[in-house]
Amino acid sequence: MNPNLVINYGKEALEMILMLSLPMLIVALVVGVAISLFQAVTQIQEMTLTFVPKIIAVFIAMVIAAPWIVETLVSYTRRLFEAIPSLLS
């Protein structure tokens, strides 16, 4: 196994992590900005107002994206397992 192959698999793994976490991060960002605007307009500075809606929105995004996440992870894992014989030679 050469170093380029290890670097390539590591790069693919990092790209996979970023791609799978992106929907939840975008939802958290949008909800956070919306709540910040709401707090600025109404001058309500309640700390739980920022966290609870974000947690709920990220959870809903996770539930919606779960089939795609699982399918992508299974596909990636299958490709890794199928590549094992070529890595050993």
Block means of pLDDT (10 residues each) for the chain, 89 residues, are 86 95 96 92 84 94 96 94 84
DSSP secondary structure letter of residue 15: H
Residues 6+ apart with CB under 8 A from 9: 80
Predicted pLDDT of residue 67: 97
Q: Which residues contact 87 (CB under 8 A, 6 or more apart)?
A: 1, 5
Nearest-CA neighbor of 62 among 8, 10, 15, 23? Answer: 23
- Note the pLDDT of residue 86: 83
| Residue 47 DSSP symbol | S
User: What integer pLDDT is reported at residue 54 of this predicted model?
Assistant: 93
pLDDT of amino acid 11: 95
3-state secondary structure at position 45: coil
